[in-house]
Amino acid sequence: MDREWNDNQPIYRQLRDRVVAMILDGVLKEGDPLPSVRTVAADYRLNPLTVLKGYQELVDEKLVEKRRGLGMFVKDGARNLLLKGERQKFLEEEWPRIVAMIQRLGLNTEELLDGTGGVQSKSVKRSTTALNAMLGLIPYQGELRVLGRDPWKERDLLMRDVCFIADVAVLPRWIKVSQALDFVAGVHPRFDRAKAEGFLAKTSISLERRVKHLSKGMVAQLHLALIMAIDARLLVLDEPTLGLDILFRKQFYDSLLNDYFDRSRTIIVTTHQVEELQHILTDLLFIERGRVVLSCSMDEVESRYMEVTVNPDQVAAARTLKPIYERQVFGRTILMFDRVERGRLMQLGEVRTPNIADLFVAVMENQARVAQGAAI
């Protein structure tokens, strides 16, 4: 650490700031010990109480922990916590100036992507390799075309027709609703502000409210209004309703379908709440560790896969038809079949089309058994 001290700031605070800088720069890593109070006091000719006060600030901020008999250590997650604070500070202090500059210069989306593409590819939330490749965020092997374009080589052109929403929590908390509209209008040539304001007029969201004062459901409504006002051919939603209650999740998808979707547009959704989407899906894709294990239309799902609650005296006979999955519910046996005639299954018990969640579990577990050479 620098041995010079600024007379205009308390020394304990400067000591704290220097440790923080070392954590951010990677000089001090999570789990690393800090020099003892006695060592720092002797090396820098400081009062031990001054050093202790600086260290205590780090403890209070949950950046450092004291281990009995061992000393002070950098806590796990300290750097991420600091980076989060730095990002928030940047958004509050610098972002309004950047937005004003973008609008004054009249920059469009493609020019912004050209200038910051590398940063975006590193900071965007990753869900699956396939999704990132489709959006041109990572290179890939083989051939991939999205809307007739190579995502990696033609990303600037592709993003004119693609809208990507990582999750509903990406809007800066300090920003006003009106400022969010200003920003999108300034950077996206296909954004219709009047349409966005029309969507918001159907809600209880005021244009002068800040995001931090909105509920999770309201933030989702705001985000939805922004994306539905963009004339994009492909909309990619990555866990768009994460953290919302069931009422807002239903409202989100109903609005998306009624006010946005038409035959000229495609919506791709990644979600763990698949049962809520089953009634609106047209196609299904299951991916396991980068490998496609199922790709089919919902019509094919209904004609191909069947689930049977088997009568107790028919379990042995049902197993001869080689089910892909078996489970017990309240003492009853439920088997799932792939490409078995419905008429044969109706003789064994109650037949129905499986829900997507159960189909996902069945396909994944059966794939694992096949890989181990132990398929049913």
Query: pLDDT-based confidence at 339, cuts 50/70/90?
Result: very high
| Global confidence as pTM | 0.56
User: Percentage of the chain with pLDDT > 90?
Assistant: 29
- Least confident among 10-14, 218-222, 285-289: 285-289
Check: CB of residue 5 under 8 Å from CB of residue 14.
yes
Higher-pLDDT residue of 206 and 289 is 206
Mean pLDDT of 66-94: 78
Look at residue 321 and tell me whether its pLDDT is greater than 90. Answer: yes
| Best CATH choice for the domain 11-81 from the list 1.10.3720.10, 1.10.1060.10, 1.20.1290.10, 1.10.10.10 | 1.10.10.10
pLDDT in tens, 234-257: 988 877 777 777 777 888 788 888
Look at residue 269 and tell me whether its pLDDT is greater than 70. Answer: yes
Higher-pLDDT residue of 369 and 185 is 185
The pLDDT, as a whole number, for residue 92 is: 60
**CA geometry: angle at 182 spanning 216 and 174, to 5°?**
45
Mean pLDDT of 290-297: 83
pLDDT in tens, 111-166: 443 333 222 222 233 345 677 788 888 888 888 899 999 998 898 888 888 888 76
Mean pLDDT of 186-213: 91
| Best CATH choice for the domain 96-280 from the list 3.40.50.300, 3.40.50.10490, 3.40.50.80, 3.40.50.720 | 3.40.50.300
Query: pLDDT-based confidence at 305, cuts 50/70/90?
Result: very high
Domain ranges within the chain, ordered by starting residue: 11-81, 96-280, 286-371
Query: pLDDT-based confidence at 98, cuts 50/70/90?
Result: low
